[in-house]
Amino acid sequence: MLGGIVLIPLAASAQPQHARIGILRDGSTVPVADVPIVRELARRGYAEGRNVTYIFRASGNEPSRLPQLAREIVAAKPDVIVGGGSPAALALVNATHDIPIVITVIADPVALGLTDSMAHPTHNITGFTQSGLLLTAKRLELLHDILPSLRKAAYFWVPNSPLALSRMGQIEQAAKVLGISLAAIPVTSAADVDGAFARAEHEQVKAVLVESDPVLLRASSSIADHCLFYSLPCMHVYAAEVRNGALMSYGPPAIEDISGAAAYVDRLLKGAKIADLPFVEPTELKLTINLHAAHALGIKFPPALLMRADEVIE
């Protein structure tokens, strides 16, 4: 106190005058203003050129570029970095142990070695999970529900995915319980889809299970078209894939939690610590069914399963 005046320190929640935010996108290059996290942050008062500068890098759908792009972002010394997907998360934590990182969508961060605790992140990264290992097995069970006689299915997976082997173990165990023989068919890019279905036909599979991975998500429309051509029922992850023609999906309602990530970025810029921002798991799982695709495939969904569906597209 000086002369009867109480000096109050600046609040820890005060927004910095000018923030620097790094963004690593595992996808195509777009204008930074069109990036979803940028639009969401704009709604929170972050205007590029006025109070925020973005350091934006995109892989051009070439995940192998992510480590170099992550190093470029770190070299620009942002206050916080946003990324999407497990490969981007791993590239970023390998590039910096100090700058806080928020991931809009990630698989199992504990299994990936990114934290020892979901509730209290132990490194410099947090984010929003979308697909646990057990969900892959659940999708196979749902596929079996519409095809009780299913004895052989194709499993489209991405070998270089960080959790590929863990997921493979879960799905093989589930297939064994259900009495299903599994043909694991690797897909590393959209260019592999034709060959994957040719192999599926050779293996005489009767259905397809698609793993949760950015590579397969980008190829989902092509996969749905091929399934109709080969008359193969297929289980996807996201409702958006079903709205674009796929038969069915089971997973979180949104691919990324953009709003949640923007809130975390805002809190970090106002002084919050990563350890105080828990990894957030999905609280809702959505079963989506496309009856138009079902009719084209000659599939009749059990009434009980239709009753369970959160969204039915007719």
pLDDT, one tens digit per residue, over 18-31 is: 999 999 999 889 99
The tens digit of pLDDT for each residue in 73-111 reads 999 999 999 999 999 999 999 999 999 999 999 988 998
Backbone phi, psi, residue 73, to 5°: -65, -45
**Does position 13 have pLDDT exceeding 90, yes or no?**
no
254-258, 265-269, 282-286: range with highest mean pLDDT: 265-269
**Are residues 221 and 120 part of one domain?**
no
Range with the lowest mean pLDDT among 97-111, 121-135, 242-256, 299-313? 121-135
- Structural domain contains residue 85: yes
The per-residue pLDDT for 17 is 82
Determine the structural domain holding residue 226 and report its residue range: 133-251+285-313
The per-residue pLDDT for 83 is 97
**Are residues 240 and 290 part of one domain?**
yes
Task: Please provide the average confidence, as pLDDT, over all residues in the chain.
Answer: 91
**Are residues 211 and 70 part of one domain?**
no
Q: How confident is the model at residue 283 (pLDDT cuts 50, 70, 90)?
A: confident
**Does position 234 have pLDDT exceeding 80, yes or no?**
yes
Span 208-229, average pLDDT: 93
List the CATH number of the domain containing 297: 3.40.50.2300
**Are residues 92 and 58 part of one domain?**
yes
**Are residues 218 and 173 part of one domain?**
yes
- Structural domain contains residue 67: yes
More confident residue, 14 or 206: 206
SS (H, E, C) the chain: CECCECCCCCCCCCCCCCEEEEEEECCCCCCHHHCHHHHHHHHCCCCECCCEEEEEEECCCCHHHHHHHHHHHHHCCCCEEEECCHHHHHHHHHHCCCCCEEEEEECCCCCCCCCCCCCCCCCCEEEEECCCHHHHHHHHHHHHHHCCCCCEEEEEECCCCCCHHHHHHHHHHHHHHHCCEEEEEECCCHHHHHHHHHHHHHCCCCCEEECCCHHHHHCHHHHHHHHHHHCCCEEECCHHHHHCCCCEEEECCCCCCHHHHHHHHHHHHCCCCHHHCCCECCCCCEEEEEHHHHHHHCCCCCHHHHHHCCEEEC
**Are residues 111 and 167 part of one domain?**
no
Span 3-22, average pLDDT: 59
Backbone phi, psi, residue 154, to 5°: -90, 145
The per-residue pLDDT for 7 is 39
Q: Which residues contact 108 (CB under 8 A, 6 or more apart)?
A: 129, 132, 133, 163, 166
The tens digit of pLDDT for each residue in 158-204 reads 998 888 888 888 899 999 999 999 999 999 988 999 999 999 999 99
- Structural domain contains residue 10: no
Question: Are 225 and 245 a contacting pair, CB within 8 Å?
Answer: yes
**Are residues 145 and 74 part of one domain?**
no
Range with the lowest mean pLDDT among 72-86, 119-133, 180-194, 214-228? 119-133
More confident residue, 258 or 282: 258
- Structural domain contains residue 4: no
**Are residues 291 and 187 part of one domain?**
yes
The per-residue pLDDT for 311 is 96
- Structural domain contains residue 8: no
